[in-house]
Amino acid sequence: MTDTSISSDSSVSTSVSNDSGTTSRRLKGTRQLRMAFQVADVTDEGMQVDWGGVAFSPDGDMIGSDAVIATVLPTTTIQQYKLKGMVSDAVIPFTNQELRQTSVTVSRGKMQVEFERDLDAADPADQDISSSGQWFLYAWGQTSDAGVINYHGFKNRGKNFLNLDSCEELIP
């Protein structure tokens, strides 16, 4: 789904970017994550993709993670969610949406998602994102006719454990 490479720099107003379009940067003392990822709008099996998301997990598990999910059907949205279980009713939108610089577009068969959020959560309901080692989960799937995010299943997901300071994938 995404080549996740993230880098950070401690100087004010400096950002480091790479081919994946994913960066972490420090601005005026606030550590921020800027992330971009792409999802094909139709899988190899012919499934239409209506949503794509990434989650920040303390332990590599979906349940208990904070997620950013973008949908293109029935409407185009990008929101933060708490993942409390593996059923649609357990994907709970945050009361305080704190994403910035959001964008969801579909072009040439791909959904492009971009957002920015603080690494250090201001809201106690949000998880901090660790720059020394962080689980990133990713998934994609379909929505119901009513716009409910359906479970992605076992094929449409993955995860990486990354060091945001060095841009390296780690073995936890």
Query: Does residue 30 form part of some domain?
Result: no
Query: Domain with 142 in it: what CATH number?
Result: 2.60.40.1210
Q: What is the pLDDT of residue 8?
A: 32
The confidence score (pLDDT) of residue 171 equals 83
Report how far residue 163's alpha carbon sits from residue 60's, in angstroms, rounded to the nearest whole number: 14
The answer to the question of residue 116 being in a domain is: yes
Rg (CA), the chain: 15
Mean pLDDT by runs of 10 across the 172 residues of the chain is: 32 29 47 86 83 94 95 90 92 91 90 91 81 90 89 90 84 80
Asked if the structure places residue 16 within a domain, the reply is: no
Q: Which of 143, 158, 137 is CA-nearest to residue 51?
A: 143
Range of the domain at 79: 36-163
Answer yes or no: is 87 within a domain: yes
Q: Tell me the C-alpha distance between 48 and 72, whole Å.
A: 11
* pLDDT value for 14: 21
Residue 63 lies in a domain: yes
CA distance 36 to 7: 13
pLDDT on residue 133: 87
In a domain, 18, yes or no: no
Number of domains, the chain: 1
Q: Which are the contacts of 63, defined by CB distance < 8 A and separation ≥ 6?
A: 83, 84, 85, 86, 90
CA angle 113, 119, 125 (to 5 degrees): 95
